[in-house]
């Protein structure tokens, strides 16, 4: 198991230092953040509350949980907020200490690392990977998952936790709500926790299973406000848990992990319908632009339900390095279990930034074959 931290992109500081340029001049396609950036309403709220930084934050995040409960139509007592959803991933692993875990591959690497660290002082957890394949468009088959779960029933091979990133990162592929619930029902029968990470589901919210948690004592749903609301610097995420888990999780969490400004910004973000509508509009338009440009350049890409693309290219590593020299960051996916060095993840950004990327790729692909056929 990989217990070493993996960079998820976003290290504009290192590249700016290497190129001797200002950080703001780096164009970062390696992180999936709203190209509209932070809304004016959030900025105004933050400015208004700077004078209260001498106060400790509310350790119960009561105002924020109440707003989240209203937004989703759920019980606020099932909500736990964290310093980004990643904190909650580690908290779940530390609290529940699973012994045998099923994880798709490729997917977000922090699931594996959290499980590895949680079991380091005791018996190490066993992780089994369920490979999702490029030739199938990286689609997850719920029946295949259920078959793997049932294989271990009444044996030492039984699972006690599953992670499902939906839409998946880095592939962008969504598992439909009915299919997720099918897996969740099977997990409940086997007393196995299903952790559904919906960090990138804001563009397909109808497929969320967040309201189903109250009906399934083995279902957990995680959400992030970093990406859609462009708040990774404030670190804000939350989870919806079966009530019987809340007290146990609180025993293992650090106090005051969600700061004052994060709590205020999140409350305002949830009220800002205009910002959400404009975000969906911009992302939809720019996805069309990128897909048209990829096709024109002969770059193979996978269909996505999120605001990023997984592309497959010859000489991907060289392409990434050349882009860096131009102050452009993309995510090379060689470190993802289940992928190789020919994959790159590219976020959807503003039209100006997307056009700069396409222009740079056009210039580079004069020297390299554009893509490898996706079998």
**Which residues have a Cβ under 8 Å from the Cβ of 141 and sit 6 or more positions away?**
none
What is the pLDDT, as a whole number, of residue 371? 52
- In a domain, residue 310? The reply is yes
* Spatial separation of the C-alpha atoms in residues 210 and 321, rounded to whole Å: 40
Whether residues 261 and 287 fall in one domain: no
Mean pLDDT computed over every residue of the chain: 91
- In a domain, residue 374? The reply is no
Q: Which of 228, 199, 240 is nearest to 73 (CA)?
A: 240
Whether residues 248 and 354 fall in one domain: no
What is the pLDDT, as a whole number, of residue 217? 97
Whether residues 244 and 327 fall in one domain: no
Average confidence (pLDDT) over 110-131: 84
What is the pLDDT, as a whole number, of residue 23? 85
Q: Which of 218, 222, 202 is nearest to 210 (CA)?
A: 222
Q: What CATH number has the domain bearing residue 59?
A: 3.40.640.10
Angle at 368 between CA 367 and CA 370, to 5 degrees: 130
* Spatial separation of the C-alpha atoms in residues 276 and 288, rounded to whole Å: 19
pLDDT 10s digits, 272-326? 999 999 999 999 999 999 999 999 999 999 999 999 999 999 899 999 999 999 9
Looking at the DSSP bridge assignments, the partners of residue 131 are: 105
Tokens of 29: 């396609």
Whether residues 76 and 160 fall in one domain: yes
Which residue shows structure tokens 């632009």? Answer: 289
pLDDT 10s digits, 142-179? 999 999 988 866 666 789 999 999 999 999 999 999 99
Residue 356 has pLDDT above 90, yes or no: yes
Phi, psi of 283 (to 5 degrees): -65, -40
What is the pLDDT, as a whole number, of residue 120? 55
- Reported as a pLDDT band with limits 50, 70 and 90, residue 132 is very high
Whether residues 148 and 240 fall in one domain: yes
What is the pLDDT, as a whole number, of residue 373? 45
Whether residues 84 and 199 fall in one domain: yes
Supply the pTM of this predicted model.
Answer: 0.92
- Reported as a pLDDT band with limits 50, 70 and 90, residue 3 is very low
Peptide bond into 167 cis (omega under 30): yes
Residue 28 has pLDDT above 70, yes or no: yes
Whether residues 169 and 79 fall in one domain: yes
- In a domain, residue 370? The reply is no
- Reported as a pLDDT band with limits 50, 70 and 90, residue 375 is very low
Whether residues 241 and 349 fall in one domain: no
Q: What CATH number has the domain bearing residue 338?
A: 3.90.1150.10
User: Which of 271, 305, 329 is the endpoint of a domain?
Assistant: 271
pLDDT 10s digits, 248-264? 999 999 999 999 999 99
- In a domain, residue 3? The reply is no
Based on the structure, what is the number of domains in the chain? 2
Burial of residue 229 (number of CB atoms within 10 Å: 0-12, 13-18, 19+): buried
- In a domain, residue 371? The reply is no
- In a domain, residue 166? The reply is yes
* Spatial separation of the C-alpha atoms in residues 312 and 301, rounded to whole Å: 6
User: Which of 247, 271, 295 is the endpoint of a domain?
Assistant: 271
What is the pLDDT, as a whole number, of residue 123? 67
186: containing domain = 40-271
Whether residues 290 and 241 fall in one domain: no
* Spatial separation of the C-alpha atoms in residues 27 and 10, rounded to whole Å: 10
Report percent pLDDT > 90 for the chain: 82
User: Which of 249, 271, 293 is the endpoint of a domain?
Assistant: 271
Whether residues 145 and 285 fall in one domain: no
């Amino acid at each position: 198991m990989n217990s070493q931290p993996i960079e998820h992109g976003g290290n504009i500081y290192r590249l700016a230092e290497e190129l001797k340029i200002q950080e703001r001049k780096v164009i970062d396609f390696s992180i999936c953040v709203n190209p509209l950036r932070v809304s004016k309403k959030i900025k105004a709220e933050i400015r208004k509350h700077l004078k209260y930084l001498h106060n400790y934050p509310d350790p119960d995040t009561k105002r924020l949980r109440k707003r989240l409960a209203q937004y989703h139509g759920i019980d606020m007592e099932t909500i736990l907020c964290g310093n980004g959803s990643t904190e909650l991933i580690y908290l779940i692993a530390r609290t529940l200490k699973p012994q045998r875990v099923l994880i798709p591959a490729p997917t977000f690497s922090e699931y594996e690392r959290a499980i590895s660290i949680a079991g380091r002082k005791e018996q190490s957890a066993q992780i089994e990977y369920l490979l999702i394949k490029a030739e199938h468009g990286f689609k997850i088959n719920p029946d295949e998952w259920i078959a793997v779960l049932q294989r271990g029933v009444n044996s030492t091979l039984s699972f006690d936790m599953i992670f499902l990133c939906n839409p998946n990162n880095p592939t962008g592929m969504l598992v439909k709500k009915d299919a997720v619930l099918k897996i969740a029902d099977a997990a409940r029968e086997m007393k196995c926790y299903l952790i559904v990470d919906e960090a990138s589901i804001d563009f397909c919210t109808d497929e969320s299973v967040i309201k189903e948690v109250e009906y399934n004592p083995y279902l957990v749903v995680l959400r992030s406000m970093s990406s859609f609301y462009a708040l990774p610097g404030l670190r804000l995420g939350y989870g919806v848990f079966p009530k019987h888990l809340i007290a146990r999780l609180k025993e293992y969490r650090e106090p005051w992990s969600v700061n004052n400004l994060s709590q205020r910004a999140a409350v305002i973000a949830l009220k800002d319908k205009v910002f959400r509508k404009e975000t969906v509009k911009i992302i939809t338009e720019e996805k069309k632009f990128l897909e048209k440009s990829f096709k024109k350049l002969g770059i193979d890409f996978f269909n996505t339900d999120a605001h990023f693309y997984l592309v497959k290219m010859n000489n991907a590593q060289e392409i990434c390095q050349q882009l860096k020299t131009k102050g452009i960051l993309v995510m090379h996916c060689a470190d993802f279990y289940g992928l190789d060095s020919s994959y790159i993840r590219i976020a959807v950004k503003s039209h100006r930034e997307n056009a700069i990327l396409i222009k740079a790729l056009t210039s580079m692909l004069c020297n390299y074959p554009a893509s490898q056929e996706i079998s």
